[in-house]
Amino acid sequence: MIRPSFDVLGEPWIPVVRLDGSADEFGILRCLEQAHNLREIKDSSPIVEFGLYRLLVAFVLDALILAHRRPEDHHDLEDLIEEGSFDGELLAAYVEACGDVFDLFHPDRPFLQTVMAGNEKKRPVAGVFPAVPSGTNVCHWRHPPEALWDVSPAEATRLLATIAPFMTAGGSGLSPSINGAPAVYILPLGRNVYETVVLNLPLRADQEAGDGTAAWRSTSVPGRERVEATTVEALTWRPRRIQLVAEVQELGDGLRQVRVRHMRFARGDSTRLTWIDGNLAYRYDHEKVTPVRMRAHRALWRDAGPLLFLDDLEHGSGQDRVSFKRPDVVSNAFKIGIDNVLTRIHAYGMRTDMKMKVFEWTKAVWKVPPSLGRSTRLGAVIFGEMDRAERAAWALRTSIRSLYPREGASSQGAMKSTSERCERAYWQALEPRFTSLLNAVAHLDPAAPDDPDLVAETTRKWREAIRSLAVEQFEWGAKDMDADGDALERMVRARGRLVGNLRRVLS
């Protein structure tokens, strides 16, 4: 029987977009060798797309480390960008040093997998892709039985790339990845894939510990509680032991195809280590460090402050005092950014219940003026204006609640649905104004925050939009209320309450 084989270095499986806009698929080596001629990696699933970028970053970083060329600061990244393309000899030397570890179905060292004893129960491969219903994971937009879902070797490899950044907890003994429950990953983009990979090379070396290697070079079997990690190990973390089960299907006329329907699956490495990931923003709260994660009914742009601009800025007071720190890769990208050229940034998020349930995932795309990103004081202005919008949303919500007798105590369902609908519409209408706010603040001098009048004039259109949209949604929520005397009195009171709160918020 012919042993199935799939060489991830040479076989096409990474979906790319060329500079001319045409689509193609490459293996790892060609993708990196042609990275300067590729616009981006593009997949219909956000978690797959980021997983592919992360895998390429880990591959390149490990190659640089073995060649004693690890970048140490943003100046080293600038030097790499000036080189314009990856060194073919560097890549070739790295592949030779790794050995025979890039075959997806290798009998001893399958790529991004662990050889299992063979007595483990086979599970549907659908279990590693949240878009497909499997076990207790329910997807409302897809209904075929999990046992009927199979994938090609190329698709299976793409799914394996999601394990390190997006694996959730999975019940007893099944830990999430090194960052815990999936957080919002930020990816600055360059003019091509080469620059994007370079911009996302992690520089933080002070937390390195142990002698762990990239998953494909490691000979250790995952399954322990870990207290240390290296960067390349963290980028390719193995919270599960997985081995794909290949099925060779006869098509006739001597033709065959390989499909993957099942896998062997067991617990992998777990850790209580607090790992600072270069692509994540963090919240520091009373010595507790947590990455910024997706929240229900909250678009990613509303967290643009901590995700893009804040760098150790304290917020709040007393017991509520917290500080945020944007991703390291964002800071590096703004330092390297070209004046008057917008920095493109992608955000990838997957929202869970902090355990194994997956509710949604999303991808956001932003274009940010580098001058705004370089000045944390101007970034604080953006955060302040976003805070105004949040407080205005609270004022809208409470005003609508007060339209009902006893603030909705007897009409909880109606109050909740109406206020949520109005607040959702408010944020959706405000989002297009966000880009204009960024551009307006970006033209300020870094010392401008010392002049409140100047800041108020610069953000005038933004604040006017907050006011008008909040009032507009209040009127929509109030239009179908009763017309008796008590209802009219509550409406007048609620409208006055909203106007007064908005005046205080926007002054």
Contacts of 396 by beta carbon, 8 Å cutoff, 6+ apart: 419, 422, 423, 426, 470, 473, 474, 498
Q: Which of 294, 88, 283 lies closest to 182, judged by CA? A: 294
Domain spanning 375-507 has what CATH number? Answer: 1.10.132.100
Sign of CA dihedral 125, 130, 132, 134: positive
- At 271 the pLDDT is 87
- At 197 the pLDDT is 97
Which DSSP symbol is given to 307? I
405 half-sphere exposure, CB direction, 13 A CA radius: 7
Name the pTM for this structure: 0.93
- At 117 the pLDDT is 79
Burial of 486 (0-12, 13-18, 19+ CB in 10 A): exposed
What is the C-alpha separation between 282 and 275, in angstroms, rounded? 11
Sign of CA dihedral 226, 230, 231, 235: negative
What is the C-alpha separation between 157 and 8, in angstroms, rounded? 8
Cα radius of gyration (the chain): 26
Q: Which of 332, 322, 160 lies closest to 239, judged by CA? A: 160
Report how far Cα 410 is from the mean position of its chain's Cα atoms: 40
Helix H or strand E encompassing 441: helix 432-442
Question: Within 10 Å of residue 37's Cβ, how many Cβ atoms?
Answer: 14
- At 129 the pLDDT is 81
- At 145 the pLDDT is 66
Low-confidence ranges of the chain (pLDDT < 50): 408
Sign of CA dihedral 264, 267, 273, 274: positive
- The answer to whether residues 156 and 124 touch, using CB atoms and an 8 Å cutoff, is no
What is the C-alpha separation between 93 and 71, in angstroms, rounded? 18
Contacts of 495 by beta carbon, 8 Å cutoff, 6+ apart: 399, 474, 478
- At 1 the pLDDT is 59
Helix H or strand E encompassing 446: none
Q: Which of 270, 271, 268, 214 lies closest to 240, judged by CA? A: 268
